[in-house]
Structure 1
Amino acid sequence: MDCVSPILDVATRLWDCTTKRAVYIGDLQEILESLSKAMEELKNIAEDVKTKVELAEKNRQMRRTREVDGWLQSVRVLEKQVDEILQKGNQEIQRKCLGSCCPKNCRSSYKIGKIASKKLGAIADLSKSCINDVANRLLQDPVDERPMEKTVGLDLMYAEVCRCILDEQLGIIGLYGMGGVGKTTLMTKVNNEFFKTSNDFEVVIWIVVSSSANVGKVQEVIRNKLDIPDDRWRNRAEDEKAVEIFNTLKSKRFVILLDDVWERLDLQKLGVPSPNSQNKSKVILTTRSRDVCHDMDAQKSIKVECLTQDEAINLFKKKVGESTLCSHPDIPKLAEIAAKECKGLPLALITIGRAMAGKSTLQEWE
């Protein structure tokens, strides 16, 4: 019996090395070569991504995102793991000799081969995610620039809004004022100038809310900017869509720009995480009513004032045009009178100024 036990033990171990395990053992050399080649290809992809990100950042075409940094970090971790596997695998191959089928070598080769095969799958997944996610982010700008003419009289207001955005204690900021005073223009300036040059925010989403606020429509705008796939969106209920938006935004530093808000819009129903000093995200809204700022829990409400008299006259004359103003010596004075009647409202000044452009007779102006 003393002789049988070792033989049975050897037989049992040898049996463990057969069938599917034999693939990992017999093809270990081939598996290691495939792993090395795949890792080298992934490193080349990562280097290409890194170069493109640095170039895009330099040209201010994009900002580095957590997703891109996370992907590059995953490649570095995987590279380290693969190097260890290759080292152990090559040592195992070097130790093989006539008795290489001994139970100890079989088990070790099997283990290394199995781990190597799993890492091949991990490399494939990372390569696929680069194509589907990271590469797309290289092409997608976090903020969409909006059309805007040169502004007049907004510099001080713009500077104040920028200071509020930089204040981490202010999550929700409200811009309020009468219709036509320039709230949307001010927020457009913030969108185009501040967020285009700031490297701190990963996504900026502009949403026109208007009087007929609809949660579903607002969610759709957010979804389009976040590129949430159809299979996670189509045929989903409103609260399920809110969960998808929340899970996508919770790991990002985001800005939501809500234009023309007439009544309270529930951020929780939309799926927008509450902006605070921890996530350093922002919600900025424009509205005609200061009460709406309070209803939206704005920590800072900024009144957008009408233009001063000098600013109003300058804007009006700019829209009328120099050739019209010079067509009669009395027109500049009449233009000033007309500008004062607009009470500093940019929309009125722009609309009437454009209407009077080309009107070169005194009769038309009177």
Structure 2
Amino acid sequence: MEIATCVLGIARIPDLEANIEAAERSGKAATIEAQQWFNRARELEREADAVVQRYNQNKCCFGRLCPNCPSNYKLGKQATKKLAQITTHIDRVDTVTWSMDRAPPFGREMPTASITGQSTFDKNVNKILECLSNDEFGVIGIHGMGGVGKTTLMHEINNGVLQNREFNRVIWITVSKEDVKITRIRKEIMKKLGMTVEDEDMIVERLFSALKEHRFMLILDDLWEKLDLNVVGVPRPNPENKSKVVITARALMVCNRMETDHDIKVDVLIEEEAWILFREKARNVVVGRPSIEPMARKVVKECAGLPLAIIAVGCALRDKDNVQV
């Protein structure tokens, strides 16, 4: 058997690399899956070359072929095993997604609400930023009642992190109470990393490997129950990799079950901040109409400092001229 045949299956690599380069020139980007395929192919090529070199060195004894040489027999078995690995890897060529439309390099900017600039909101933002700068806090929990603005806070954090380029990847996943399916969450993360894996048996391993290559921040918004990061395929952040997982939840209990390293309770707006936000949203209903203000303040008080409730009521009353006291 010619041991050199072990490397023949990798002969397509230059052509595949040329195809990737052509795709990049046309505005596309190589997927992480493609990068992983090339890395493994090159690794197999180096291993096969090493087997061939050792075989050639031991092939002759005193200038003659030594077919029964034990070392040659062992090398032959190694070569056969290596050939099988190469063949299996090459067979995956047709299942690999090689390129994709070029996405933003780090993540996606999220819309922000007008509560930015309020002192309570800014205080909450600063608390989260302090946690993100602490290497000891890998998994961070943001909790508070519905409507307090947890998602809006994390939109602000997401956008700030993108601007500062503190992480290689910023991944936003909305979990929600209705659809806490691990497979759906896993595939959304993979999609945002540019991955498509057909082999379901390897999907967790490949996602885990892909995330380990990056300093990432994963935001899991609106979590209602424990989500096992290992089962999803997410490596747990630590001081060495400096990655972060941030969850938002209504209940502190969810944070506890996620074994967060630090938790932050989102505070409601103080009374005057709530009133300013309402005036901003309601506009002419309040502005210049002092007779309306006492009733309007009662309405705002009923909103209990919850920004989403204040915004909803204010927008509903905006520019209405027939509001009765």
TM over 0.5: yes
How far the C-alpha of 1:309 sits from its partner, in A, is 0.5
Asked whether 1:304 is paired with 2:270, we answer: no
Residues of 1 paired with 2:291 and 2:323: CA distance?
7
2:108 maps to amino acid: D
Partner of 1:280: 242
SS at match of 1:154: helix
In the alignment, the residues of structure 2 paired with residue 361 and residue 327 of structure 1 have an alpha-carbon distance, to the nearest angstrom, of 15
| Structure with more relative contact order (C-alpha pairs < 8 Å, separation 6 or more) | 2
Partner of 2:139: 172
Deviations 1:86-106 (A, max 9, x none): xxxxxxxxxxxxxxxxxxxxx
Q: 1:163 to 1:326 in 2, by over 3 A?
A: closer
198, 205, 220: which one pairs with 1:258? Answer: 220
Between the aligned partners of 2:320 and 2:163, the Cα distance in structure 1 is 41
Q: Is 1:182 aligned with 2:149?
A: yes
- Partner residue in 1 for 2:182: 215
Listed as ranges, the gaps of 5+ residues in structure 2 are 1-17, 26-34, 40-97
Could you say what secondary structure the match of 2:272 adopts?
Answer: helix
Q: Give the superposition deviation at 1:251.
A: 1.7
Q: Tell me the secondary structure at the aligned position of residue 298 of structure 2.
A: helix
> Shift in Å at residue 327 of structure 1?
5.8
Offset, 1:324:
2.6
Matching of residue 268 in structure 1 with residue 235 in structure 2: no
Q: Once the 2 structures are TM-superposed, how far is the Cα of residue 333 of structure 1 from its aligned partner?
A: 2.7
C-alpha contact 1:275 1:283 (8 A) present in aligned 2: yes
Indicate whether 1:337 and 2:298 are aligned: yes
Q: Work out which of the two has the higher radius of gyration on C-alpha atoms and give 1 or 2.
A: 1
Whole-Å separation in 2 of the counterparts to 1:218 and 1:359: 43
Please tell me whether residue 246 in structure 1 is matched to residue 221 in structure 2.
no
Query: How much does 1:148 deviate?
Result: 1.6
CA distance in 2, matches of 1:136, 1:337: 51
State the match for 1:156 in structure 2.
Answer: 123
2:311 matched to 1:350? yes
Tell me, yes or no, if structure 1 residue 141 matches structure 2 residue 105.
yes
- The separation in 1 between residues aligned to 2:323 and 2:282, in whole angstroms, is 14
Deviations 1:40-78 (A, max 9, x none): xx9xx9xxx9xxxxxxxxxxxxxxxxx9xxx9xxxxxxx
1:197 matched residue in structure 2: 163
In 2, are the aligned partners of 1:169 and 1:276 still within 8 Å (CA)? Answer: yes
1:228 & 1:326 partners in 2: Cα distance?
52
Question: 1:182, CA displacement in angstroms?
Answer: 0.7
Conserved? CA contact 1:158–1:186, under 8 Å: yes
CA 251–309 in structure 1, closer or farther in 2 if over 3 Å, else same:
same
Cα contact 1:208–1:260 (8 A) shared by 2: yes
Structure 1 unaligned runs (5+)? Answer: 1-41, 50-66, 72-131
The alpha carbon displacement at 1:274 in A equals 0.7
Query: Contact 2:173 / 2:220 at 8 angstroms: preserved in 1?
Result: yes
Residues 362/250 of structure 1: CA separation in 2 closer, same or farther (3 Å cut): closer
Corresponding residue of 1:325:
286
Q: What do the CA deviations read for 1:248-299 (whole angstroms, capped 9, x no partner)?
A: 0112100100000000000001100010001000000000110111111101
Give me the CA root mean square deviation.
2.6
8 Å contact from structure 1 (residues 328, 362) kept in 2: no
CA distance in 1, matches of 2:308, 2:250: 14
Q: TM-score, normalised by structure 1?
A: 0.59
Instruction: Please give the TM-score of this superposition, normalised by the length of structure 2.
Output: 0.66
Percent sequence identity is: 37
Rounded Cα–Cα distance in structure 1 between residues aligned with 2:143 and 2:104: 31
CA deviations over 1:329-349 (Å, ceiling 9, x no partner): 312332222111111011111
Structure 1 residue 206 and structure 2 residue 172: aligned? yes
Q: Give the CA deviation at 1:136.
A: 7.3
CA contact (8 A) 1:328 1:360 kept: no
Q: Report which of the two has the higher share of helix.
A: 1
